[in-house]
Amino acid sequence: DAGVIQSPRHEVTEMGQEVTLRCKPISGHDYLFWYRQTMMRGLELLIYFNNNVPIDDSGMPEDRFSAKMPNASFSTLKIQPSEPRDSAVYFCASSLILPPETQYFGPGTRLLVL
C-alpha cells in the first residue's frame, strides 16, 4: 500500500483565498483524522471521521474551516477565507479503528498564507 497520500505538499496563497487540502487514506481504514501542527501549539486534532461520518469536530478552530469525506478513499479540508495565522503543516492520518490501533500519517501539507 502507498500509505496515506496528501496533496498538495506545499501551498502558498494570499490572505482571503480559499485553500483546499486533500487526503487519500490507506485502503480499508475506517477512521480518518486531520491534524494541524504549529510551533506554538504543537500537534492539534481538528476533526476525525468514522466510515465517512464526522465524529468529533471540536478541534476545528473556526467556521472558516470545513472538512468533508464524500467516500472512503477521499477527504478534503477547506479553509475559506484563509488568514496568515492558518499557516501550519496539516497532516492527515488513518487507522482501522480508534487507539490502541496505530494511526498512519501522511507526509503533510505545508501551508503558508501571506
Partner 1 sequence: AQSVAQPEDQVNVAEGNPLTVKCTYSVSGNPYLFWYVQYPNRGLQFLLKYITGDNLVKGSYGFEAEFNKSQTSFHLKKPSALVSDSALYFCAVRDADGGSQGNLIFGKGTKLSVKP
- Note the residues at the interface with partner 1 (CB under 8 A): 4, 33, 42-43, 45, 48, 55-56, 91, 93, 98-100, 102-108
| Rounded least distance, CB 81 to partner 1, Å | 27
Nearer to partner 1, 75 or 103 (CB): 103
Please, which residue, 81 or 107, has the CB nearer to partner 1?
A: 107
Q: Closest approach of Cβ 59 to partner 1, in Å?
A: 9
For Cα atoms 91, 63, 54, give the angle at the middle one, nearest 5 degrees.
55
User: Between residues 37 and 76, which has the closer beta carbon with respect to partner 1?
Assistant: 37
